[in-house]
Amino acid sequence: MSRKHVLFIIMATIWGLTWIAIKTGVEAVPPFFFASVRLLIAGSVLLLLARTTGVATSIDGFRGRILLAGVLVNTVTYGMIFWGMQYVPSGLSSVVNLALIPVGLFTIGLAAKEETYSTRKAAAIALGVSGLMVLFVPKLSFDGNRLALLGMVALVVGTLAYCCGSILSRPLLRQLPPLVLSGWLGLVGSAGLAILAFLFEPIDRATFDAFLAPRVVASSLFLAFGGSIIAFTIYLRLLRDWGPARAGLYAFVSPIIAVILGVLVFGEPFGTYEIAGSFILLSAAALTMR
């Protein structure tokens, strides 16, 4: 197993755990505020790490593209996902997001000429989406809840924005180190989310008191350091080296982490659908990563 495959496993595992942390946060504090703090911590730490290791953090000549990519991959993505998860269960949220990511990356990557078509990639994506459906279709239920439907729409919009931002970021990785790009994208995303929080959310002492609850602080730090700093930096590196479709295959592995965690921590069932779906997802990842 190569170093890149190890990094892929680390990334997929972390992102399989982030959904519980997000749900914990948005149940306690407004979603735009929570997402903004997460990205502010992550972006600041990444740029500080770059400076302390002697990596130049200047983005002269790339500001416009970074601004657009940051708004797409962080402000719109996390704004929509965090808002939607107020009304959609974390397991279902992960299905919508992760099922769309590989398809979105592959198709948008083709349109942007950042991805090359191959039958194996197309087959792996089809197999992976099939596995996600087998794994989670029994869990899908809206019960006529209009807010749940709006939450689903928000998740779809956020996921497609993430795919567009990822494709837009790839040419920047030929000019900027992943650490620096991750940091600036995080700060841009945080600023955009802070504006949304100021405009649409009640930000008062009660909000800060709720945020300082131990479980919310722990969730925010895990999302910032695990999800944004470690996993996203790995993702950008794999995006540069592997291309959008292959790097996006964590979407076929992370749901399995969520299922296992649900069994061990919450006592969720692991029956025929879960076994079959997990096998199909792993087969899809293996097919493309050969």
> What residue spans define the domains of the chain?
3-289
The answer, yes or no, to whether residue 232 has pLDDT greater than 90, is no
Rounded Cα–Cα distance for residues 221 and 228 (Å): 10
Task: Please give the DSSP secondary-structure letter assigned to residue 137.
Answer: G
**Higher-confidence position of 269 and 172:** 172
> Rounded mean pLDDT of the chain?
84
**Higher-confidence position of 111 and 19:** 19
Rounded Cα–Cα distance for residues 198 and 97 (Å): 26
Polymer length of the chain: 290
- Backbone torsion region of residue 176, taken as left when φ is above 0, otherwise alpha when ψ lies between -120 and 50, otherwise beta: beta
pLDDT at 186: 92
Task: Report the share of the chain in percent with pLDDT over 70.
Answer: 91
User: Tell me: the pLDDT tens digits for 47-66?
Assistant: 998 889 888 888 888 889 99
Rounded Cα–Cα distance for residues 156 and 104 (Å): 11
| Per-residue confidence band for 112, with pLDDT thresholds at 50, 70 and 90 | confident
pLDDT at 144: 54
pLDDT at 188: 96
Can you list the pairs that 112-119 forms with residues at least 24 positions away whose Cβ atoms lie under 8 Å? 112/167, 112/168, 114/167, 114/170, 114/171, 114/243, 114/244, 115/243, 115/244, 115/245, 116/243
| Per-residue confidence band for 241, with pLDDT thresholds at 50, 70 and 90 | confident
Rounded Cα–Cα distance for residues 124 and 110 (Å): 16
CB atoms near residue 56 (< 10 Å):
11
One-letter amino acid at 109 equals G
- Residue range 97-111: mean pLDDT, rounded: 76
pTM of the model: 0.80
The answer, yes or no, to whether residue 270 has pLDDT greater than 80, is no
3-state percent breakdown (helix, strand, coil) of the chain, nearest 5: 80, 0, 20
| Residue 164, C-beta contacts closer than 8 angstroms, at least 6 positions apart | 72, 73, 108
Rounded Cα–Cα distance for residues 124 and 244 (Å): 14
- Residue range 278-283: mean pLDDT, rounded: 77
The answer, yes or no, to whether residue 143 has pLDDT greater than 70, is no
**Higher-confidence position of 8 and 152:** 8
**Higher-confidence position of 213 and 107:** 213
Number of H helices, E strands in the chain: 14, 0
- Looking up tokens 């809206």 gives 142
Cα dihedral across residues 232, 189, 90, 45: positive or negative: positive
**Higher-confidence position of 252 and 219:** 219
The answer, yes or no, to whether residue 242 has pLDDT greater than 70, is yes
**Higher-confidence position of 270 and 272:** 272
- Residue range 9-14: mean pLDDT, rounded: 91
pLDDT at 198: 93
pLDDT at 29: 94
Q: What is the token pair recorded at 11?
A: 């990334």
